[in-house]
A and B are shown apart, each in its own frame.
Chain A
Amino acid sequence: MKPATTEFTTIKYPDTKLSDSTLLKLYRGMLKPRLIEEKMLILLRQGRISKWFSGIGQEAISIGVTMAMQEDEYILPMHRNLGVFTAREIPLYRLFSQWQGKANGFTKGRDRSFHFGTQEYKIVGMISHLGPQLGVADGIALAHKLKNENKLTAVFTGEGGTSEGDFHEALNIASVWDLPVLFCVENNGYGLSTPTTEQYRCKNIMDRGIGYGMEAHQIDGNNILEVFTKVSEIAESVRKNPRPVLLEFITFRMRGHEEASGTKYVPQD
């Protein structure tokens, strides 16, 4: 499979001044959602849980972004961002309970999987509909701005979700109002079964920043050091000088859209 952009063919870790403990924290941070997922895949096969959207292979993005944010800054994750939840240190039994529709979760059994928010951990989970979370991030950021708080907000979408009108509206609003939002697009090559060539025709999603008068960056989403250092740098600058930034993370979805759907449409090499 050749994704739309393959500038990042091998992982080259940049030189950083990060301490050993930070490096290990990033590593352990990625390990946790991976191990949880591996366990979930077993439980799924045993029929003990129902549905699973895998973020395997995309952990560096969730972990890098979350660790670049301050604890009290809001994050709006999507269905492949388990790492956001684990990096914010939500007790695992609460997550598991949420997935099983039990009371120790966050929705009293009323909503499933990652479809919940929690003010305690400053996470605003998705609704099923792709798109509205992007505008919600605008509102959160606007509130910070009106309260004169130098906080930023990070919101996720897949590249498929960028085709929604809400993506356009949210970026447009953020740009005319100079809202401190990081729009994080995880370009993993597929939206369910649809490859990027059938999803959009611009070369890079990052290029859309031009259309919104918005700063944009493309980042190797599999390179934790690049994700963490670049996002940290951008975050710091956005806190000082509030503005939206479009971030395109190039990555790949290693498993099916959800575990029932397989990856037959993805060429082996």
Chain B
Amino acid sequence: MNEWAAKDPISNFKEFLQEKNILTEEIDNEYINEIKVEIDENLQLAFEEEVVISSTSEELNDVYQEFEFQHFEENYETENIRFIDAIAEGLKQSMQKHEDLVLMGQDIADYGGVFKITENSLTDFGKDRVRNTPICESGIVATAMGLSINGVKSMVEMQFADFVSSGFNPIVNYLAKIHYRWNQQADVVIRMPCGAGVQAGPFHSQTNEAWFTKTPGLKVVYPAFPKDAKGLLNTAFNDPNPVLFFEHKALYRSIRQEVPTNYYTIPFGKAAFLQEGNEVSIVTYGAAVHWAMEALLEFPNLSVDLIDLRTLQPLDIETVFNSVKKTGRVLIINEDSIFGSIASDIAAQIAEECFEYLDAPIKRLGSMETPIPFTKNLEDQYLPKNRINEKLKELMAY
């Protein structure tokens, strides 16, 4: 310590400057006095300043950067394409629309990504904008943050949503909080190929949206259909806030739909009705939407409001409330295990808001509270898909 005190950067430099006759005691004193006056005057200002007062609405407003949704209409020309093609198309059209948009991800350039979503991006947009990254999830999310600070929009493709855990810190602590903290946008879309039903085991099957809906400052999108996927992805790129965009792997190649060929957008925070009825509400999103549709084939006479949430943050809870108030019965299904899930939170909100309208206890259905098993038998048992029928009967019999 003494040795280092002798190495003080200021006193040594002062001596040096004095020896060279560059600094005199007089100038030194002048500096010190000037600075001290500056400090005192400014401290005075700060001490005199009132303590901060804010309203709850002002605090809430600053969590997200203001974003005015711009609606681009769908045209009538459509094409029958798969979920995965719709994502690729949205990505391509957004790359054309936003000329500075940069894509980053593992093996996304020449190789086209493990799901081949960016297959032609490199030829279309060049290697500056379509970037293979080293296997550094945390560093790349932080890089995306830096791009946004310096005015460039970007997308990060997680190879699998499971691996986002290695980039969790910058998402929940940096991107999510920066606008609230100092009014800086985090203009980043993180694409998350997720979900089970593909016999991929504990580390390639998770649907981890609830890790993020818990954190204020993030938007979370989870489409179930090709048309929604494309329109919502386009919106994600227009929105200057950090967006986690979940894409269920099991839907990629199994779900087809007529999708408008042009560039169009779908607003966040608007659920979709797939069926309207008045006996029961089924609220769900992602792959579970398709499971619910399949299960309902066995209830041809049941009059059901089937609601696909489409985005989880913002969440269209009003639509859910209105539906439950109409039907008096509700089943909420999500693929995630139930504790701390989206379904649980929606159930709690319904209980608070619609208690007097309920004719039966709110039912939630999700996966088992275990890691996701590999083999088909075990995975089928783990997932809620085969329990929908039974749960619905229980609810209707109450």
Contacts and interface: CB of A to CB of B under 8 A. Distances in A.
Contacts of B140: 135, 169, 173
Contacts of B100: 146
A43 to B, nearest CB: 8
Interface string A49-64: 0000000011110000
A138 B104 CA distance: 13
B2 interface: yes
A234 interface: no
A101 B47 CA distance: 11
A117 B129 CA distance: 27
B274 interface: no
Contact of A117 (B38, B142, B149): B149
B142 A132 contact: yes
A139 B142 contact: yes
Contacts of B150: 74, 139-140, 143-144
B49 A104 contact: yes
Contacts of A99: 46
B181 interface: yes
Interface in B113-158: 128-129, 131, 133-134, 136, 138-152, 154
B174 interface: yes
Nearest to B181: A111
Interface stretch (A24-32, A193-201, A240-248): A24-32
B39 A268 contact: no
Interface string B2-36: 11111111101110110000110001000110011
A162 to B, nearest CB: 14
B136 A169 contact: yes
B174 A132 contact: yes
A136 B174 contact: yes
A143 B5 contact: no
B181 A107 contact: yes
A266 to B, nearest CB: 5
A75 interface: no
B329 interface: no
A212 B143 CA distance: 17
Contacts of A150: none
B169 interface: yes
Interface string B258-301: 00000000000000000000000000000000000000000000
Interface residues of A, number: 88
A9 B3 CA distance: 8
A34 B5 CA distance: 14
A9 to B, nearest CB: 8
Nearest to B45: A93
B157 to A, nearest CB: 15
A31 B39 contact: no
Interface in A100-118: 100-104, 106-111, 115-118
B182 interface: yes
Q: A13, A128, A176 — which one has the most chain B CB atoms within 10 A of its CB?
A: A13
B369 interface: no
A39 interface: yes
B386 interface: no
B52 A135 contact: no
A110 B16 CA distance: 43
B51 interface: yes
Contact of B52 (A24, A58, A109): A109
B49 A36 contact: no
Contacts of B184: 117, 119
B349 interface: no
B142 A10 contact: no
A35 B39 contact: yes
A134 interface: yes
A124 B148 CA distance: 12
A260 interface: no
B249 interface: no
Contacts of B46: 93, 96-97, 99-100, 102, 104
Given A30-B9, A74-B150, A117-B184, A39 B49 contact: no
Contacts of A125: 182
B322 interface: no
Nearest to A28: B31
Contacts of A107: 181-182
Interface in B70-112: 100, 102
A47 interface: no
Nearest to B154: A139
Given A1-B4, A96-B42, A266-B1, A143 B152 contact: yes
A132 B173 contact: yes
Most A CB within 10 A of own CB, among B38, B142, B178: B142
A211 interface: no
A202 interface: no
A222 B9 contact: yes
Contact of A170 (B139, B144, B173): B139
A18 B12 CA distance: 17
Given A20-B22, A138-B146, A139-B147, A166 B52 contact: no
Contacts of A32: 35
B50 interface: yes
Interface in A1-45: 1, 8-11, 13, 20, 23-24, 26-28, 30-32, 34-36, 39
Contact of A59 (B9, B27, B129): B9
Given A27-B10, A119-B149, 8 more contacts: A11-B13, A96-B47, A117-B149, A136-B143, A138-B146, A139-B146, A170-B142, A222-B9
9 contacts: A13-B13, A24-B22, A27-B10, A100-B47, A103-B50, A135-B136, A135-B146, A136-B142, A147-B152
